[in-house]
Chain A
Amino acid sequence: MKSFAYARAADLETAVQLLSKTPNAKLLGGGTNLVDLMRENIEQPDALVDVTGLPLDRIQERPDGGLVIGATVRNTAVAVHPVVRDRYPLLAQAIVFGASGQIRNMATVAGNLMQRTRCLYFYDHAARCNKRAPGAGCDAIGGFNRMHAILGASDSCIATHPSDMCVALAALNAKVKVVGPNGERTIAFEDFHRLPEDTPHIETDLQPGELITGIEIPPLGFARRSLYRKIRDRASYAFALVSVAAALEVDNGKVRNIRLALGGVAHKPWRATEAERVLAGANAGPESFRQAAEAELAPARGLAHNDFKIELAKRTIVGVLGELAGG
């Protein structure tokens, strides 16, 4: 690991100043992703600004029934929160389906959003990787790509975003609150993470000098009936091959409200807007669920080892919606 300077920021203003005025500085949350990447010399910051002492460690209820979750709240604290478990069960569920108990106790909400891909070539200095070294090429495309993207990939990068929590946040239309040298702004969740295009090293809309202060979750009554399902190579403690987060409201046999997002399939948490469109007002039954899944996965492209994910994603969508519809 390269040597670095360390500072703990006590207030936001100091954190923003340290981050924007210290060359090659990075923020440090729980460290569960960054420390690992620094040890592998993939991340090489000259300075770390520790955000875990900032007053961003609270979950607040909004008068409208929504929530604001501070950036440094640990993942476990989100999953155990009574309001999250009651009003947004898919969020609690997505969190406990990720990593391990120990890691969830350390990981912060902002760190979870900013975690980097688990593409093995990204971790391997002997491999070519456009994300690690822009312009170098991508060894995953012709290599072993079982864990890689089927939607929204590019000729530059086929990596996936590994987060479970973010899939639920995408379905919930969350917003990311950030602050930087030019003040505060709020980013819609779907605009926060980017598709790879020809700049896979730029992963989010976060600008240099900006830091995440929290996540806003709008009220969503029907999310009380919601589900997160994760398909993986072993029963626990593995990244998703495919995952589905969904909330469904059925009225008189018809879909009244639907939210659907997929994980493990793209460079970003994938909000399934096409499937949602097909399902609006449709019969809440297996035929329309299958139609919606077909529509969402129509642009999917499989590679040598991940082709199976296309059908897997469709079936997981149908299964989850079927369970939510009570069938």
Chain B
Amino acid sequence: MPSPNQTPKAVPIPPAGSALILLKINGVDRSLSIDPRTSLLDVLREHLSLTGPKKGCNQGACGACTVLMDGQRVLSCLSLAVQLEGREITTIEGIANGELHPLQAAFIEHDGFQCGYCTPGQICSAIGMFQEFQNGLPSAVTGDMAAATIEFSDTEIKERMSGNLCRCGAYVGICEAIHSAFDREVAK
């Protein structure tokens, strides 16, 4: 129970200005001194030259800035980097492991892009999306929220990927690429 009459005992708020944070980005520990206003997206692009994540809208509407945080897909434009101390961030630059990730290969195989601007976000998002699917998370088109198994259908993929816009309209190829990379895993 907080007692109102004590003065704050811990973590006095530091003056506005700079903050020191430690992040693990694509497997590498990074220690950064940043203004607390800096978004994760700006840290990645401006401070670390990881320009895979794109700044499409900078307000949560397009998904081009999607990265994985501790394996979960998030929007780096709405994340303040200062909040993410100790987190593990994976960008498109860290997805391949010696050879292309199966989903990257599938995007090439199935024409999952035209200009490629949305692609890093699409790929990170789809990897996170598939993990959510495997965890049993229902979606807005699932119907029965308590369903023990959900079909990995086009409708499910489209709904789950609706946070990633593609101005070139490569949606058909994106959906095919996701099927071809993950259908085998679903069967397991």
A-side residues, CB < 8 A to B, are 1, 3-10, 12-14, 16-18, 20-22, 25, 28, 30-32, 35-36, 39, 46-50, 52, 76, 79-80, 82, 85-86, 89, 92-93, 96-97, 99-103, 105-106, 179-184, 230, 235-237
Q: Is the CB of B140 within 8 A of A93?
A: yes
Let me know if B162 and A105 touch, CB within 8 A: no
Which of B11-19, B95-103, B110-118, B166-174 lines the interface with chain A?
Answer: B11-19
Complex CA gap A35/B85 in Å reads: 17
Looking at B13, B85, B138, B159, which has the most chain A CB atoms within 10 Å of its CB? B13
Q: Which of B153-172 contact A (CB under 8 A)?
A: 158-164
**Chain B interface secondary structure, helix, strand, loop or mixed?**
loop
Check if A97 sits within 8 Å of B2, measured CB to CB: no
Tell me which of A4, A17, A82 contacts B2 (CB under 8 A).
A17
Measured CA separation A35–B42 after assembly (Å): 14
Minimum CB–CB distance from B175 to chain A (whole Å) comes to 14
| Residues of A with C-beta under 8 A to B7 | 17, 21
A181 x B2 contact (CB < 8 A): yes
Interface residues of B in 131-152 (CB under 8 A from A): 132, 135-140, 142, 144-146
A7 lies within 8 A of B83 (CB): no
| Contact assessment for B83 and A31 in the assembled complex, using a CB-CB cutoff below 8 Å | yes
Checking A30, A93, A101 against B125 with a beta-carbon cut-off of 8 angstroms, the contacting residue is: A101
User: Chain B residues in contact with chain A, CB under 8 A?
Assistant: 1-4, 6-17, 19, 35-37, 39, 58-60, 63, 66, 69, 72-75, 78-80, 82-83, 85, 125, 128-129, 132, 135-140, 142, 144-146, 158-164
What are the residues of chain B within 8 A of A30 when measuring CB–CB? Answer: 78
Chain A residues with CB under 8 Å of B125's CB are 101-102
Complex CA–CA separation, A17 to B178 (angstroms): 48
Q: Are B14 and A5 in contact (CB under 8 A)?
A: yes
Q: A6-B36, A76-B137, A103-B75 given as contacts; is B8 within 8 A of A21 (CB)?
A: yes
Q: Does A50 lie within 8 Å of B83, measured CB to CB?
A: yes
- Chain B residue numbers with a CB within 8 Å of A7 are 11-14
Seed contacts A80-B135, A80-B137, A103-B75; 4 additional CB < 8 Å A-B pairs? A3-B35, A4-B36, A103-B78, A106-B79
Q: How far is the CB of A164 from chain B (nearest CB, A)?
A: 10
CB-CB under 8 A for A35 and B78, given A5-B15, A99-B163, A100-B163: yes
Most buried by A among B12, B82, B140: B140
A13, B2: Cβ atoms closer than 8 Å: yes
A93 to B138: give the CA distance in the assembly, Å. Answer: 8
Do A6 and B128 touch across chains, with their CB atoms under 8 A apart? no
Q: Is the pair B63, A18 in contact by a Cβ cutoff of 8 Å?
A: no
CA distance A21 to B49 in the complex (A): 39
- Interchain nearest-CB distance for A176 vs B (Å): 18
Asked if A106 and B36 sit within 8 Å, CB to CB, the answer is: no
Known contacts A21-B7, A101-B163, A79 near B138 by CB under 8 Å: yes
- Minimum CB distance partner of A80 in chain B: B137
Verify A46–B16 contact, CB threshold 8 A.
Answer: yes
